[in-house]
Amino acid sequence: KEEGGQTAMDVFLLDPGKANGFPTVLEDLIEAPEDHALTCVAFNPKGNLLAAGTQKGSLLIFDFETRGLERNCGCLHPDQAVTSVSFTGDGNRVLTATGFAHESRAPNAVLYDLAEAKIAVEVVLPSPPTFARVHPNGAEFLACFHQGPPVIYSISSAPSSRQVQASVCLPKDKEGSSHPPAWPVTANYLGDGDRVALGNASGEVEIVRNDFAFSVAMRRTAPIADSGAIKAIVENQARTLIALNIAGRSQQGFVRILQLVGGEGEGDRDAECASNVVGDFHDPACFAKGSSLGWVAFSWDNGHLLATSGAESKHHLSVWNLETQKLSCVLESSGLQPVWHAAWRPNRAALVTVNADGNCSVFGKKEKENWSCFAPGFRELEKNEEYVEQEDEFDASPAEQRTPAPPHSRDLVNILT
- List pLDDT tens digits, range 204-228: 999 999 998 999 999 999 999 888 8
The Cα–Cα gap between 233 and 204 comes to: 12
Contact 216, 270 (CB under 8 A): no
Contact 184, 214 (CB under 8 A): no
In this structure, how many other beta carbons lie within 10 angstroms of the beta carbon of residue 181?
17
The Cα–Cα gap between 208 and 205 comes to: 10
Q: What is the pTM of this model?
A: 0.82
Predicted local confidence at residue 411, as pLDDT: 64
Predicted local confidence at residue 286, as pLDDT: 74
Predicted local confidence at residue 393, as pLDDT: 75
Q: Which residues contact 33 (CB under 8 A, 6 or more apart)?
A: 60, 69, 72
* 345 φ, ψ (degrees, to nearest 5): -70, 130
Q: Indicate the SS3 state at residue 400.
A: helix
Predicted local confidence at residue 101, as pLDDT: 75
How high is the mean pLDDT in each 10-residue block of the chain (417 residues)?
Answer: 43 49 88 90 95 96 94 93 96 94 84 95 93 96 94 86 92 55 89 95 94 94 88 93 90 92 65 92 78 87 87 78 92 81 90 89 82 74 83 69 61 64
The Cα–Cα gap between 342 and 346 comes to: 13
3-state SS record for 147-215: CCCCEEEECCCCCEEEECCCHHHCCCCECCECCCCCCCCEEEEECCCCEEEEECCCCCEEEEECCCCCC
Kind of pairing between the strands at 326-332 and 316-321: antiparallel
Predicted local confidence at residue 415, as pLDDT: 62
